């Protein structure tokens, strides 16, 4: 999608601080981090949100989840722990309509809601 900021980042039209990338996934640092480690994990194909996951694109979502382990290791939080979040809809806090996951770590987090 031409107006999707994450699609533009994936295409290289908007610069990002890339941490990891393969043919299916891009992982980059969030520009407004809420913790010392705040990474965004996105599939390279455009999927609006969790409601749009289907048989044709579910492998891209699986690739994102596989990239979580790599990203956590590269960020040095694989042993201490991290939070993985995907927001859905405006009430859920989704601000970019491209499925993505936030990997947040590097601090001790509270139990319950963020």
Asked about 38 being catalytic, the answer comes back as no
DSSP state of 110: P
- CB atoms near residue 25 (< 10 Å): 25
Strand-pair partners of 21:
26
Q: Given 38, 98, 100, 102, which residue is catalytic?
A: 100
Best CA proximity match to 81, nearest among 101, 100, 108: 108
Which residues form the catalytic set? 100
């Amino acid at each position: 999608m031409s107006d999707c900021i994450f699609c533009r980042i994936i295409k290289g039209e908007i610069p990002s601080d890339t941490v990891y990338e393969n043919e299916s996934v891009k992982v980059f640092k969030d520009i407004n981090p809420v913790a010392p480690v705040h990474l965004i994990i996105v599939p390279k194909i455009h999927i609006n949100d969790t409601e749009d996951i289907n048989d044709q694109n579910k492998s891209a979502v699986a690739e994102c989840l596989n990239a979580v382990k790599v990203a956590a290791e590269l960020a040095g939080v694989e042993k201490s722990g991290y939070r993985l979040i995907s927001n859905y809809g405006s009430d859920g806090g989704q601000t970019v309509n491209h499925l993505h996951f936030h990997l947040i770590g590097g601090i001790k987090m509270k139990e319950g809601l963020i």
